[in-house]
Structure 1
Amino acid sequence: MAHNINFNEQTGQHSFFSVKQKAWHGLGQIVEDYPTSAEAIKFAGLDYTVEKRPLFTVDNGYLNKDDELEHSEIEVPNYFATIRTDSEQVLGVVGRDYSIVQNRDAFSFFDAIVGGDGMQYETAGALGNGERIFITAKLPGYIKVGSDDYIEKYLFLTTSHDGSGSITAAFTPVRIVCQNTLGAALRNSSNTIKIRHTANAEERLKVAHKVMGISNGMADELDGIFNQWAKVRITDKDVMKLIQQAMAPSKEVLKSLKTGEELSTVFKNICDNAFMYAMASPTQQTETTKGTLFGAFNAITGYFQNVKEYKDDEAKVKSIIGGTGQLRTQAAFDLCLGYAKSGAEALTLN
C-alpha cells in the first residue's frame, strides 16, 4: 500500500508521529508518552508556517533592442499562492477571502476543546508537500459495552493549505479490541463538523466547544445503543441481509436484492468478505459480538477498517471519515436501529 507522508528535506525525516505503535507505513517518529500540543507539532514535523502571497503571470512579451524576448509581470487579481515558508514550496492557489489556519492553530483548536487538559495527541502528520495535515487525539474516558469491551473516544481533525477543503473535525469512537472506527451519525446530528477557512479565530473557538458537546452527547447515546445491541441476538442469515443492504451502492442494487435478480460479482465479493469477517475474525468471537447485533454492526466497520484494500492511507482515511466507508457505516447503523426495534422485519425490503 502506498503512502503520501511528507518528507521534510530540511530535517531528513517524514512528517509523522505516533505514540508507542508504528503506523503500517513504518515512517516518522515513535514516542513513548503522549506529547503536549507544542511537542506534537515538532514530533510530526508540522512546525512550519504558511503565507498567502500575490500571484503573477506574464504578458506575451516584446523584443528589446538586442532582439531578446522580454516579459512583464501581471498580477492575477483576487487570487493568491499559499507558500510553505521553510521550503518555499507552492502548496496551492486560493481566493482573496481564504484565511490560512496555521498548523499551531489546528492544535490550539484541539486544546480549546478540553481546556488544554486531558487531550492525548496520538498521531499527527502532513501529506504531499505539507498541503494537508491531520491530527488524531484521544478524549478522556471510554464507552463500555458489556463487561469488558471498551471503546475509546477520539477526535480527528484535518485541514488543508491548498484551498481544497474545509477544516474538518470528526468524533470517531474506536473499539480497542480491533481498532475499528465505529463512527455514525445519530438521528439528525452528525459526527463531523466542517469549518470554513474564512471563519475567524473566535468562530473556530465556538465550534471547538460545539464539537466537545457533540462528542459527549454522542458518547453517552452510543453507550446505551451499543449495550442494547450487544444483548440483541441475530441469525447468520439476517447478518448477511444486513450486510447486503448496508453495502448496496444504489437503489437498483436494493431492487435486485428484493427481486432476486443476479448481483454483480464485485458486490457479491464485498458482501462475502464482510460476512467472513463477521463470522471468522477473532474480534467477532467475544461476548458482545458473537451472534449479536453489535457484532453485525462491527462487521461493517471492520470490513472498511481491516479488510478492504485502499490505494493509500489518505484514501482510507477519506473513506472512513467522509466517504464510502462512512456512508455504508451509517446505513448499517440505521438498519441496526431498526432491527433493535422490530427484529427481522427491519430487513424486509419494501
Structure 2
Amino acid sequence: MAHQIEQMAYVGATPWHGLGSRLTEKQPIEVWQREAGMDWKIQESPVHFKSDAVGHLGAIHSFPEQKVLFRSDTKAPLSVVSNRYHTVQPREVLEFYRDLTEVSGYELETAGVLKGGRKFWALARTGQGAALKGNDQVNGYLLLATSCDGTLATTATPTTVRVVCNNTLTIALDGMSQAIKVPHNTHFNPQAVKKQLGIAVSQWDDFMYRMRTLSERKVQWHEALGFFMSVLCETSPTAQIPDVLPNERALRKVQELYEGKGRGSQLGSARGTAWGLLNAVTEYVDHERRARSNEYRMDSAWFGQGAQIKQRALDTALRLVA
C-alpha cells in the first residue's frame, strides 16, 4: 500500500504519528522545503478530451471551464478543478511562517505532504504553554494546511498538544473553532490571515482557563459512561441502552484509557476528571482508532472524522462545567 505521506520532516521528539525524518532545530525555510518534500510547484493545464476518432488520432477538444493540476517534479496529476480555483503552493505554506519564526518566536516542528501532494501542511509551536496540576504541560501550536483537490480550504488552526501523550486538540471556544479558513475561490492573503489569527491566539488564556476548569471537575462513573456514549455512540445516556451499541469497541477502549491505561491518565489533572474524559477521547483518536495506516489516522485526526469526534468531546466536556 502506498503511503499517504510522501515525505515529511520534523524537529525534536518523534511526532505522535511516528512518521518523517528528523532535522536539527532552527533550520531555514529553504531546508524545510526540501526535507519536507515541498520543493515542487502545482502547475496547471487546460482540460482536453478526445471525441470519436477522426482519422488516426481522433478529434481533440478543450473544456475551458476546468483545468488539471499536476506536480512540477513528477508531472503526476493532482486533481481537476474549476478555472475559478486558486491554488496555494507548498512553498507558500512554509513561507507563511517565515516572519513568525524569525521575529515572533515561533518554531516549526513538522511539515509535509499527504496523498501524493494533494494535501500539505506545516505545524509550528507558538511559544505559549501552560501546566495543569501534576505538571501536565499543554503547549500552543499553529497548524496551516491546504489541499489542491477541493477537500480542504486553506486553513490556519490554533492547536494544543498535551506533552505527556502528544494528544492534539483544536482550540475552540463556545463551540466554535478558532480556525481561519480561506476557500479556494478566493486568493490566499497570508498577512490578512495572520491579522485575524492575532485574535484567536490571544484567546489562549481563556481556552486554558477552561481546560484548567475541566481538570478540577470531578466526575462520577455514570457521568463518564454518559460522556463516552454521547461522544462516540451519539446515544443519549438517559435513553434506553440498546442490546448492541454502535461503536462499542471504541467505547470500551476510551474507558480503558480513562481508567488508567492512557498516557497521563494517572496525573492529578486527569484522574477522575472531565479533563481526563476529554484526553481519553483525544488519545483514542490520535493513537488508537482503527485506520489503514498511521498516515490515514493522522489525516482523520487533523482534518476528517477524527477531528469531528475530538470537537464533539470538547463541546461535551465543556457542558459539564457550564
TM-score (norm 1): 0.83
| Residue 53 (structure 1) aligns with | 45
Deviation (angstroms), 1:97 = 1.3
| Residue 348 (structure 1) aligns with | none
Residue 149 of structure 1 contacts residue 288 of structure 1 at CA under 8 Å; is this kept in 2? yes
Unmatched runs of 5 consecutive residues or more in structure 1: 7-14, 64-68, 342-350
One-letter amino acid matched to 1:5: I
Q: Which moved more, 1:157-166 or 1:47-56?
A: 157-166
| Residue 244 (structure 1) aligns with | 229
- Specify the SS of the correspondent of 1:70: coil
1:185-264 aligned at under 5 Å gives the runs: 185-187=172-174, 189-201=176-188, 203-217=189-203, 219-249=204-234, 253-254=235-236, 257-264=237-244
Q: Which moved more, 1:28-37 or 1:86-95?
A: 28-37
Does residue 110 of the first structure (1) align with residue 102 of the second (2)?
Answer: no
Name the CA shift for 1:48/1:259 in 2 (closer, same or farther; >3 Å).
closer
One-letter amino acid matched to 1:264: V
| Residue 82 (structure 2) aligns with | 95
| Residue 295 (structure 1) aligns with | 276
Residue 112 of structure 1 contacts residue 208 of structure 1 at CA under 8 Å; is this kept in 2? no
- Specify the SS of the correspondent of 1:325: helix
| Residue 62 (structure 2) aligns with | 75
Q: Distance in 2 between matches of 1:276 and 1:25?
A: 21
Does residue 3 of the first structure (1) align with residue 11 of the second (2)?
Answer: no
- Specify the SS of the correspondent of 1:284: coil
Name the CA shift for 1:95/1:189 in 2 (closer, same or farther; >3 Å).
same
Deviation (angstroms), 1:161 = 2.5
TM-score (norm 2): 0.89
1:108-187 aligned at under 5 Å gives the runs: 108-111=95-98, 116-146=103-133, 148-187=135-174
- Specify the SS of the correspondent of 1:259: coil
Name the CA shift for 1:123/1:198 in 2 (closer, same or farther; >3 Å).
same
Q: Distance in 2 between matches of 1:73 and 1:149?
A: 63
Does residue 310 of the first structure (1) align with residue 291 of the second (2)?
Answer: yes
Residue 131 of structure 2 contacts residue 137 of structure 2 at CA under 8 Å; is this kept in 1? yes
Cα deviation code 1:108-152 (max 9, x no counterpart): 223356775322111111223322212111111202222611111
Q: Distance in 2 between matches of 1:198 and 1:206?
A: 16
Cα deviation code 1:287-344 (max 9, x no counterpart): 1111222112211212212221212334323432343333333333233223224xxx
Name the CA shift for 1:70/1:326 in 2 (closer, same or farther; >3 Å).
closer
Residue 93 of structure 2 contacts residue 121 of structure 2 at CA under 8 Å; is this kept in 1? no
* Bigger CA radius of gyration: 1
| Residue 284 (structure 1) aligns with | 265
Q: Which moved more, 1:262-271 or 1:226-235?
A: 262-271
Residue 246 of structure 1 contacts residue 332 of structure 1 at CA under 8 Å; is this kept in 2? yes
Residue 142 of structure 1 contacts residue 153 of structure 1 at CA under 8 Å; is this kept in 2? yes
- Specify the SS of the correspondent of 2:156: strand
Deviation (angstroms), 1:23 = 5.1
Q: CA RMSD in A?
A: 2.5
Which residue of the other structure, out of 50, 62, 65, is the alignment partner of 2:54? 62
Unmatched runs of 5 consecutive residues or more in structure 2: none
Q: Distance in 1 between matches of 2:66 and 2:74?
A: 21
Cα deviation code 1:174-228 (max 9, x no counterpart): 1001111132521153133321123224x442122212421331x1112211222
> Percent identity, aligned pairs only?
23
